[in-house]
Chain A
Amino acid sequence: MANTEPAVVCSGLVRRYGERRALDGIDLTLDQGQTLVVFGPNGAGKTTLLRVLATLLRPSEGDASLLGSDLRKEGWKVRSKIGFLGHQSLCYGDLTARENLRYHAKLHGVADPAARIEALLDQAGLSGRGDERVFGYSRGMLQRLAICRAVLHEPELLLLDEPRSNLDPAAIEQVEPLIGAAAGRTRVIASHDPAGGLAEADLVLGLRSGSASLFEPAAQVTTDQIGELYR
C-alpha cells in the first residue's frame, strides 16, 4: 500500500541557540515527491531548519515529523530515509573517495555497496580518481563526492543545503540525476538562487530571522518577492 503520509510536517517549530531563536515558529507541510525550496539571507535559519529535519538538532519547541515519524521520539526511524547534504562533505581527507563511501555504506547498511559506489562515482565523474585521498580534491570534486554520500543509501527525502555550490555547469548536469527532480525524491533545498530555485520548487519558504515570511506554492511566487527577503 502506498504511503500517503506527508513527507514533512512542522508545527510551531522553534530552535534556540541560547537565547536566540534561530527558528521561530515554523509551520509547513510538504507532500511526498514535492520539492520545497527555502530562501533567506545568511543567518535566516535555512541551515538550522535542514539540520533539525536531519535529526542533527532537536527542536526546542513545537513539533516536526518526517514520513510519519515524530522527530523528537522516533528520529532513529527516519535516518535511513534521509539524505543530508550540508556545507561540509562529511568525508575524511585521509581516506580515498571509495573508502569514504564504503564507510558510509556500512553505517547505512547498504546492500551490495561495491556496485552502488561504482555506479555513483561513475555518475559523478569521479571513478577515475576514486582511489585518491580526498584531501587533494578540488571543492567541486568534494561537493560531487558529498552528493554521492548523501544519496548512497537511496533515501526517500533529500535535505540539500546549496547543493550546486562549487559546481561548474558540466558537474551540475552530472549530478542532476542524483539530486534533481527526475530522481523522484522529496526534496528540501536551501538556495540563494531565486530563478534556479523557483524553477525546481513546488513550494517556497522564505525565512527572515528565523520566521517564515513567505510560504506559498512556487507558481504564485515571483523572483521579486524572493529578492525582497534579502533587502
Chain B
Amino acid sequence: MSAAHPPSTLSAARAVLYKELTLERRAPQTLTAMALFCASAFVIFHFALGRNEIEGAIASGVLWVTLTLAALLGIGRSFVADREEGGLDGFLLAPAPRSALLIAKAMTLFIFLLIVGLLASMLFAVLLLGPTPTVSQWGSLALLIVLADLGIALVGTLIAGIAIQTRARDLITSILALPLLIPLLIAVTKASEPLLSAGGGTLVGRWLALLGLYDLIFGLLAYALFDYLVED
C-alpha cells in the first residue's frame, strides 16, 4: 500500500533544517532574543565595570560570557515549537534516522550562534573594546567563533534533547550546559585574549587544538547518545 521509502539521514536532516529556518524566519524570536541579550549585556558591563574601554583578558571574558549566556537562550528554545505543537512526535513517528534530528537541530543552533556571534563581536568592538583588531585578528576571532559555536551547538542540542524529556526542562538546560561548556569557555577566552589586547597578538595553537578536540568529543558523544535521549 505504501508508496514511501525511508529517507536518508541527510535528506531528513535537510527537511528538519529547512523547517527550523522557516519557522525562525516567520517568527524571529530566538535570534532577536539572543541579539538583544548581547546588546543589553554589553551596556550593563559598560556601567558595571565603570570603564569606557576594555582589553585583554577582561575583554575576552566579557565577550565570551555574554555569548555563552545568549547561547543558553537559543538552547532553551531549540525544542519549544516541537514540544508545544507535537513536532517531536511527528518526527519520531517517521522512519527517518534519529541522528537527522541531531544534525538539523545542531546546525540550526550553529547558524543562530554564528549570526549572533558575528553581530555581537562587531557591537562589542564599537561599544567596549579599546584596541582596534587588525584584519587578520578579526579573521582569527571569526575562526574562534566558528569552533566555539560548533561546540556550543553540539552540547546545546544534546542538553536540549535531555531537557525535553523532563518537566524541569528550563532548569536542566542551564544546570547541565554551563558545567559542560567550562572547558570550551576556558579555551576560547584564552585563545581570544591576545587578539583583544593592546599591541595585538596571534592565535595560540594549543587552544585551537583544544577547541577542535572538544568539538570532536562532543560531536561523537551527541551522535552516540541522541537516539536514546529523544526516544521513550
Q: Give the interface of A toward B (CB within 8 A).
A: 54-58, 76, 79-82, 84, 86, 88-95, 99, 103-104, 106-112, 116, 133, 149, 153-156, 184-185
Question: Could you tell me if B4 and A86 are in contact, using CB atoms closer than 8 angstroms?
Answer: no
- Bound complex: CA A94 to CA B5 (Å): 27
Complex interface: chain A residues within 8 A of B12 (CB): 106-107
Q: Which residue of B has the minimal Cβ distance to A87?
A: B86
- Whether the pair A154, B3 counts as a contact (CB closer than 8 A) is yes
Most buried by B among A57, A80, A112, A154: A80
Question: A104 contacts which chain B residues (CB < 8 A)?
Answer: 90, 94
Q: Please give, as numbers and ranges, the residues of chain B lying within 8 Å of A93 by CB-CB distance.
A: 85
Query: Do B89 and A79 have beta carbons less than 8 Å apart?
Result: no
Chain B interface residue count, CB cutoff 8 Å, equals 32
Please, how many angstroms separate the alpha-carbon atoms of A112 and B3 in the complex?
Answer: 9
Q: Report whether B1 and A155 are in contact in the complex, using a CB–CB cutoff of 8 Å.
A: yes
Partner of B89, one of A86, A110, A112: A86
Contact with A81, one of B2, B27, B90 (Cβ below 8 angstroms)? B2
Nearest residue, chain A, Cβ from B92 = A56
- When A56-B92, A153-B2, A155-B1 are in contact, do A106 and B7 touch as well, CB less than 8 Å? yes
Task: Say whether, besides A86-B86, A94-B26, A103 and B19 are in contact (CB < 8 Å).
Answer: yes
Chain A residues positioned under 8 Å from B90 (CB to CB):
90-91, 104, 107, 149
- How far does the Cβ of B27 sit from chain A's closest Cβ, in whole Å? 5
Which of chain A's residues have a CB closer than 8 A to the CB of B40?
none
A89-B86, A106-B12 known; A111 vs B4 contact (CB < 8 Å): yes
Question: What 18 additional pairs, Cβ within 8 angstroms, besides A106-B11, A155-B1?
Answer: A56-B92, A57-B232, A58-B232, A76-B95, A79-B93, A80-B94, A80-B95, A82-B93, A89-B86, A91-B86, A92-B81, A99-B22, A104-B90, A106-B7, A106-B14, A107-B12, A109-B5, A184-B1
Q: How far is the CA of A200 from the CA of B16 in the complex (A)?
A: 37
- Whether B7 pairs with A108 at a CB distance below 8 angstroms is yes
B126 at the interface (CB under 8 A from A): no
